[in-house]
Amino acid sequence: MRIDELDTPVLLIDSDALERNLQRLAKMTEAAGIDYRPHTKTHKSATIARMQVEAGAIGVCCAKLGEAEVMAANEIDNILITTPVVGESKIGRLMTARNQAAIAVVADNKQNIEMLGSIAQLSGTKLDVFVEVDVGQGRCGVPPGPEAAILAVMIDNHPWLNFSGLQGYQGKIQMLVDVEERQMQTIEGLNKLSKAIGEVEKKGLTVNIRTGGGTGTLPFDADRGLLTEIQAGSYVFMDSRYGGINWPDANTPPFEQALYILTSVVSKPAPDRVVLDAGLKAASSDHGPPMIENGVGQNYAFGGDEHGILTMTGGEHVPWEVEDKLRLIPSHCDTTVNLYDQYMVIHDKNVIDVWPIEARGRVQ
Amino acid sequence: MRIDELDTPVLLIDSDALERNLQRLAKMTEAAGIDYRPHTKTHKSATIARMQVEAGAIGVCCAKLGEAEVMAANEIDNILITTPVVGESKIGRLMTARNQAAIAVVADNKQNIEMLGSIAQLSGTKLDVFVEVDVGQGRCGVPPGPEAAILAVMIDNHPWLNFSGLQGYQGKIQMLVDVEERQMQTIEGLNKLSKAIGEVEKKGLTVNIRTGGGTGTLPFDADRGLLTEIQAGSYVFMDSRYGGINWPDANTPPFEQALYILTSVVSKPAPDRVVLDAGLKAASSDHGPPMIENGVGQNYAFGGDEHGILTMTGGEHVPWEVEDKLRLIPSHCDTTVNLYDQYMVIHDKNVIDVWPIEARGRVQ
């Protein structure tokens, strides 16, 4: 099938760009002598998770238990759930999924650790647990002081839990545009993680795995040599927000745009304005509107759930007519992907594959 | 099952509130002597569409062809697709779905009308077409002048198309807080529709159906007596944005909140702050963050794709601990529903039913 025969709006993956991004992260981490455990929250796809493992990833990250269940059911092994799994029902589900794949989880709370231990014991399988440290995000995680050591010891002392290491991740600094600011904040966060590692080591424990980092802070995370593995996720697809940040070597942004929304013009109410069939249900808005590909002077504005309104700056005429198709670059890849059930994988002018987004909507 | 046994985040419908909302719209429109064709873009559920028809609706609206296909396959009849259906592939799908149910469509473009006619002829079934008039939304639709009459005549002259009437809808004024401002803008829009009706009637055609209006403008739409049917959608669920607007009789807001997100506390990093398991993938952000139910002094902020951060104003202690569950009121019901695959229908403390959200993600 040709791309221009697709019904719209539809999510496209440029297969060549995806493959190049996969290889670039493999090379960058290999050069830095660091592992990577890419975050599947970006793509929510077992197919891409498999490609990441084939490219050299040691395993994957999942944001929620529901995503980990999907990956485990699709033969992806060595999974880290990067947010706490709380309550009897979910921990029971975790231990069930643990029968299909190695799954570790983070924790930041005594009561939660006790319940993880009790249910692990009931299931007869030891569970790997990381302590989450708040290195600046202000979300989950214990402060980078003695609290981390207290939880690490508690896990280590439990006969049905393994203390696997520490997680320190900051999503909010990944997309800082200024490269020096991003570097400085990465170092600040890593210093906090280093302090927590010191506290844990004082108790005689080893912090074998130090997991964190992301697409934006990758160069600085790798430089420091503190993390043993990088959780980059967005590098597979990129988006307009990531596309707008600066990199240490300005001439070589390490990754390229691989994800697009194909949309159609459905109305042309004025020569300088058309209405597209992609609105809030086709492109996430939490990082602002999507961009028109190569869209100099062409501005997209959301026109409700089902529409986008493309207006030319300066009253110029729109170069498209009703039925024409054009491509948008999402502003936030993770949340845009969550709106779709499948990817159309493209090469040149053709659709060469369809990949299900199995973990879409798995928020539990 | 009890509500507090549910894994979270999960979407809840208060069945009593939903039923009262359904009955209230039925009574209000009956008193005004006007039909209603509720918009399924809010709930995306064949079950609720059936309840609306049983309560007295003459049919339903769908925003996209994909939604109409779902409703038609679930025996919902008399469907109006409120946005243009463009291109050979989609019009072909429309005519296929037309075999299962009466489906009408809006149009605002000559080329589109020609193609609707050609494919209707090929399929051997006459198609009902409305002309969409831009009454202020600035999105799709012809201006409220002679253009509407030109398209109406074109449709009427085509042997395989029926001219059914005019659509004039303004989403953007539905949630204007000030009741007089909302009334004024409703009247302005209806005046434009009235002008378009006049232009069409000058050509000797009758505008049998005048469709438009919504939950917020309902009292004024009904008063004017120009529309023959109301497209209200959000009235079934309401949301924090609609809940914040004023009504002509301030003591009786006509509809009540029936939709909630149940979420759990997964981390308590500080006495005045907890982290919830509902973020951008559990509550839409295009109308701002969701509200905590009865949450005086308790502010929800998005904490990324999977988390919300609840902070007490003034440093008070949060009344919840890890594992506790609480309810959020979505800021925008339509786009929040689009994130979920099913509703948990509740009564008192129990889950009494599970309804699939069959039309979720049907953006094509």
Q: Considering only alpha carbons, which residue of chain A is nearest residue B308?
A: A139
* Percentage of chain B lying above the pLDDT 90 cut: 95
Q: How far apart are CA B36 and CA A180, in angstroms?
A: 59
Cβ neighbours for A180, distance < 8 A, ≥ 6 positions apart: none
A interface test, pick of B67, B130, B263, B306 with most A CB neighbours within 10 Å: B306
B363 and A281 in contact by Cβ < 8 A?
yes
A323 and B111 in contact by Cβ < 8 A?
yes
Q: Which residues of B touch A334 (CB under 8 A)?
A: 305
DSSP secondary structure code for residue A313 in this structure = G
Closest CA relative to residue B7, chosen from B364, B354, B362, B357: B354
Q: Which residues of A touch B340 (CB under 8 A)?
A: 361
Closest CA relative to residue A340, chosen from A259, A276, A266, A267: A259
Q: Which residues of A touch B285 (CB under 8 A)?
A: 285-286
Q: Considering only alpha carbons, which residue of chain B is nearest residue A342?
A: B361
Q: Which residues of A touch B139 (CB under 8 A)?
A: 267, 269, 275, 303-304, 307, 309
A322 and B86 in contact by Cβ < 8 A?
yes
DSSP secondary structure code for residue B327 in this structure = E
Q: Does any CB of chain A come closer than 8 Å to the CB of residue B138?
A: yes
Q: Does any CB of chain A come closer than 8 Å to the CB of residue B160?
A: no
Q: How far apart are CA B69 and CA A39, in angstroms?
A: 35
Report the pLDDT value the prediction gives residue A296, as an integer from 0 to 100.
80
- B41 closest CB neighbour out of A87, A142, A305: A305
B9 and A268 in contact by Cβ < 8 A?
no
Q: Does any CB of chain B come closer than 8 Å to the CB of residue A4?
A: no
Q: How far apart are CA A53 and CA A63, in angstroms?
A: 18
Report the pLDDT value the prediction gives residue B197, as an integer from 0 to 100.
98
Q: Considering only alpha carbons, which residue of chain A is nearest residue B171?
A: A304
Q: Does any CB of chain A come closer than 8 Å to the CB of residue B299?
A: no
> Would you say A282 and A261 are in contact if contact means Cβ atoms under 8 Å apart?
yes
The torsion angles phi and psi of B352, rounded to 5 degrees, stand at -105, -10
B139 and A338 in contact by Cβ < 8 A?
no
Q: What is the pLDDT of residues A129-172, one digit of tens each?
A: 999 999 999 999 999 999 999 999 999 999 999 999 999 999 99
> Would you say A190 and A219 are in contact if contact means Cβ atoms under 8 Å apart?
no
Report the pLDDT value the prediction gives residue A249, as an integer from 0 to 100.
81
Q: Average pLDDT of B314-336?
A: 95
Q: Considering only alpha carbons, which residue of chain A is nearest residue B67?
A: A306
Kindly list the distances between the CA atom of residue A184 and the CA atoms of A53, A146, A218, A244, B299, in Å, as whole numbers in the listed order. Answer: 31, 24, 13, 19, 30
The torsion angles phi and psi of B221, rounded to 5 degrees, stand at -60, -45
A305 and B140 in contact by Cβ < 8 A?
no
B302 and A286 in contact by Cβ < 8 A?
yes
Q: Does any CB of chain B come closer than 8 Å to the CB of residue A340?
A: yes
Q: Which residues of A touch B280 (CB under 8 A)?
A: 284, 286, 335
> Which tokens go with B266?
């997964």
Q: Is the pLDDT of residue A1 over 80?
A: yes
Q: What is the pLDDT of residues A4-62, one digit of tens each?
A: 999 999 999 999 999 999 999 999 999 999 999 999 999 999 999 999 999 999 999 99
> Would you say B129 and B113 are in contact if contact means Cβ atoms under 8 Å apart?
yes
Note the pTM of the prediction, 2 decimals.
0.97
Q: What is the pLDDT of residues B119-131, one digit of tens each?
A: 999 999 999 999 9
Burial letters for B53-66: b for 16+ Cβ neighbours within 10 Å, e otherwise? bebebbbbbbbbbb
Q: Is the pLDDT of residue A205 over 70?
A: yes
Q: 98-127 in B: which are within 8 Å (CB) of A?
A: 108-109, 111-112
Q: Is the dihedral of CA A279, A285, A289, A293 positive or negative?
A: negative
> Would you say B260 and B17 are in contact if contact means Cβ atoms under 8 Å apart?
no
Q: Does any CB of chain B come closer than 8 Å to the CB of residue A87?
A: yes
Q: Does any CB of chain A come closer than 8 Å to the CB of residue B39?
A: no
Instruction: Give me the residues paired with residue B40 across strands.
Output: none
Q: What is the pLDDT of residues B26-80, one digit of tens each?
A: 999 999 999 999 999 999 999 999 999 999 999 999 999 999 999 999 999 999 9
The torsion angles phi and psi of A154, rounded to 5 degrees, stand at -60, -45
Q: Is the pLDDT of residue B315 over 90?
A: no
- A7 closest CB neighbour out of B9, B89, B321: B89
DSSP secondary structure code for residue B198 in this structure = H
Q: Considering only alpha carbons, which residue of chain A is nearest residue B5?
A: A89
Helix/strand/coil for A129: strand
> Would you say B275 and B265 are in contact if contact means Cβ atoms under 8 Å apart?
yes
DSSP E strands, A34-169: 35-36, 60-62, 79-81, 103-107, 127-132, 161-168
Closest CA relative to residue A179, chosen from A257, A254, A290: A254
A306 and B83 in contact by Cβ < 8 A?
yes
Query: Residue A312 half-sphere exposure, CB side, CA atoms within 13 Å?
Result: 14
The number of angstroms, rounded, from the C-alpha of B106 to the middle of its chain's C-alpha atoms is 17
H helices present in B124-178, as ranges: 146-157
Q: Does any CB of chain A come closer than 8 Å to the CB of residue B278?
A: yes
Amino acid identity, position A161: L
Mean of the per-residue pLDDT values for chain B? 96
Crossing angle of helices A65-73 and A46-55, rounded to 10°: 70
Q: Does any CB of chain A come closer than 8 Å to the CB of residue B271?
A: no
Q: Does any CB of chain A come closer than 8 Å to the CB of residue B9?
A: yes
Q: How far apart are CA A218 and CA A132, in angstroms?
A: 19
Q: Is the dihedral of CA A338, A340, A343, A344 positive or negative?
A: negative
B322 and A86 in contact by Cβ < 8 A?
yes
Q: H helices then E strands: how many in chain A?
A: 10, 17
Q: Does any CB of chain A come closer than 8 Å to the CB of residue B214?
A: no
Q: What is the pLDDT of residues A217-270, one digit of tens each?
A: 999 998 899 999 999 999 999 999 999 999 998 767 899 999 999 999 999 999
ipTM confidence: 0.96
Q: Does any CB of chain A come closer than 8 Å to the CB of residue B358?
A: no
Q: Which residues of A touch B114 (CB under 8 A)?
A: none
Q: Considering only alpha carbons, which residue of chain B is nearest residue A263?
A: B364
Q: Does any CB of chain A come closer than 8 Å to the CB of residue B150?
A: no
Q: CB neighbours (10 Å) of residue B90?
A: 23
Query: Residue B79 half-sphere exposure, CB side, CA atoms within 13 Å?
Result: 32
Q: What is the pLDDT of residues A308-341, one digit of tens each?
A: 999 998 889 999 999 999 999 999 999 999 999 9
Instruction: Give me the residues paired with residue B273 across strands.
Output: B270, B311
Query: Residue A251 half-sphere exposure, CB side, CA atoms within 13 Å?
Result: 0
Q: Is the pLDDT of residue B241 over 80?
A: yes
A87 and B323 in contact by Cβ < 8 A?
yes
Q: What is the pLDDT of residues A179-193, one digit of tens each?
A: 999 999 999 999 999
Q: How far apart are CA B330 and CA B288, in angstroms?
A: 9
Q: What is the pLDDT of residues B157-182, one digit of tens each?
A: 999 999 999 999 999 999 999 999 99
